[in-house]
Amino acid sequence: MAGGDRTPVIVGVGLSDAPIAPHLDGVGHHVQAMQRALDDCGLAKSEIDGYMSAGGAGPMVDDAVNMAEYLKIEHRYLDGTMTGGSSYEFLVQHAAAAIKDGLCDTVLCTYGSSLLTTSGRTLGSKGFHVPGQRVAGPTKWEAPYGNVLIGSYAMAAKRHMHQYGTKPEHLAQIAVDARYHASLNPNALYRTPLTIDDVLGSRMIADPLHKLDCCVISDGGGAFIMTTAERARDLKQAPIYILGAAGTSSHWSISQMEDFTTTAAAVAGPEAFRRAGLTPADVDVLHFYDSFTITALLMLEDLGFCAKGEGGPFVEDGKLRIGGSHPMNPDGGGLSSCHPGMRGIFLLVEAVRQLRGQAGPFQVPDAEVAIACGSGGWLSCLGVVLLGNQAPA
């Protein structure tokens, strides 16, 4: 595709059957999401010349190389960057650069997982390794202490409470607002409204995080397609522009997190805003990785939507709901809608639908700019993408 406007845009998105899909394995979610993304924009698979995936179903099962072969993508650009839940925000940044530089013209990115069907609801209770198996890499120094996934986030929540006076009720409000949005979404896993007392009365998992402070476990998959603004002119959907993107990592192992109250979003966020020429005040809808309520609260602070330490009081008065000043995760998020293991791609798909005005009963009125912030590891790798439905100036 020589010449023309090589501004990178998202032109197609698709989600597989979710949140419960026993008829699909992880690879099946990749395939179905791809088919729906192609249908969404009107491209033929033969036009795809770049492919990206962070996997999902399991090691060496649906990594980028294997899935490109399975999907029969004749690629001249391939990327399998894996940063956990933020992988797909990092991949947007990579795809945008590859398209702009002419390394490829049209990139497909897919994800799929049958986590609920195959593993049940035990993800957060797992540690760093399977008993009886040798632990590889630096995590071998943490494995003997028996910390589990939720425990790492609980330490962050506990420290935030100690340092800033944040209350369990503040975290609970995030879960309540997520469930309100899920009640509007017919495809959400849980739709029954919650109260703060419901959250605080649910079983304590890792002090101070209760069961309803934790994300759901589901099946699901997603896909998006990026190409040039030039090619987008002939496609079915109006293009969604990549206004700015950045990602960074502050640590991987939780023992190496220098400050439990600050994530790498405090670095990646300002850089993404700088590249976009925007500020938090310009954003209409927030799509944040809410693996736990504390995850979303830290993002609100680190991305500049409120000052450090003020996240608790900030969420009290309905700001995060549709109709509020900072609607967050209008589909219900990972806390109530779906979370198949790496939710970052769902943030992007839902952001695109909001900016197109296609979100149906949970549409944020007049949304023009959206932010997607993915978190990988243990508040470790943060990827930030700013999207808009108008071409950048």
From residue 192, give the alpha-carbon distance in Å to each of 93, 189, 251, 302, 336: 37, 10, 37, 31, 10
Nearest to 298, CA basis, from 212, 210, 171, 167: 171
Q: Which amino acid is located at 122 in the chain?
A: T
Looking at residue 132, its pLDDT comes to: 55
Q: Tokens in use for 34?
A: 């791809």
Name the residue with higher pLDDT: 139 or 196. 196
Locate 56 and state its tokens: 């999902």
- pLDDT at position 120, please? 76
pLDDT averaged over every residue in the chain: 94
> Are 291 and 156 within 8 A, CB to CB?
no
Task: Give the mean pLDDT of 8-34.
Answer: 97
pLDDT, average across residues 266-293: 98
* β-strand pairing of 107-113 with 50-52: parallel
- The whole-number pLDDT of residue 145 equals 80
CA distances from 9 to 5, 351, 352 (A): 11, 13, 11
Helix, coil or strand: residue 180: helix
Question: How far is C-alpha 335 from the geometric centre of its chain's CA atoms?
Answer: 12
CA end-to-end span of the chain, whole Å? 24
Percentage above 90 pLDDT, the chain: 88
The mean per-residue pLDDT over the stretch 191-208 comes to 98
The fold of the 8-119+218-232 domain, in CATH, is Peroxisomal Thiolase; Chain A, domain 1 (3.40.47)
Bridge partner residues of 50 (DSSP): 77, 107
pTM: 0.96
Token readout for 172 is: 């609970």
Cα–Cα distance, 285 to 328 (Å, whole number):
6
Please give the pLDDT value at position 308. Answer: 98
**Reduced to 3 states, what is the DSSP secondary structure of residue 51?**
strand
As given in the structure block, the two tokens for residue 80 are 């399998």
Give burial (CB, 10 Å; 0-12/13-18/19+) of 197: exposed
The arithmetic mean of pLDDT across residues 222-232, rounded, is 98
What is the pLDDT at residue 146? 77
pLDDT at 343: 96
pLDDT per residue as tens digits for the range 305-327: 999 999 999 999 999 999 999 99
Whole-number pLDDT of residue 393: 80
* β-strands 285-288, 240-249 pairing: unpaired
What does the pLDDT average to over 375-387?
A: 97
Q: Which residue shows structure tokens 């033929």? A: 44
**CA neighbor of 210 nearest in space, from 250, 170, 269, 168:** 168
Least confident of 1-10, 298-307, 323-332: 1-10
Mean per-residue pLDDT, 165-180: 98
Inter-residue contact 205 to 383 (CB < 8 Å) = no
* Token duo for residue 257: 């997190």
Token pair recorded at residue 158: 């506990």
Q: What is the pLDDT of residue 62?
A: 72
Residue-range domain boundaries for the chain: 8-119+218-232
Rounded to an integer, what distance in angstroms lies between the CA atom of residue 291 and that of residue 335? 7
Contact (Cβ atoms closer than 8 angstroms) between residue 95 and residue 197: no
pLDDT for 27-77, tens place per residue?
A: 999 999 999 999 999 999 999 999 999 986 555 567 899 999 999 999 999
Q: What is the pLDDT of residues 244-257, one digit of tens each?
A: 999 999 999 999 99
Higher pLDDT, 267 or 145: 267
Residue 291, pLDDT score: 97
What amino acid occupies position 145? Answer: Y
CB-based contacts of 219: which residues, under 8 Å, 6+ apart? 17, 18, 19, 20, 21, 22, 24, 29, 113, 114, 115, 116, 117, 338, 340
Q: Is 170 exposed, middle or buried (0-12, 13-18, 19+ CB in 10 A)?
A: buried
Question: Do residues 56 and 30 lie in contact, with contact meaning Cβ atoms separated by under 8 Å?
Answer: yes
Check residue 61 and give its pLDDT: 65
121-135, 330-344, 369-383 — which is least confidently predicted? Answer: 121-135
The answer on pLDDT for 6 being more than 90 is: yes
Residue 140: pLDDT band (50, 70, 90) is confident
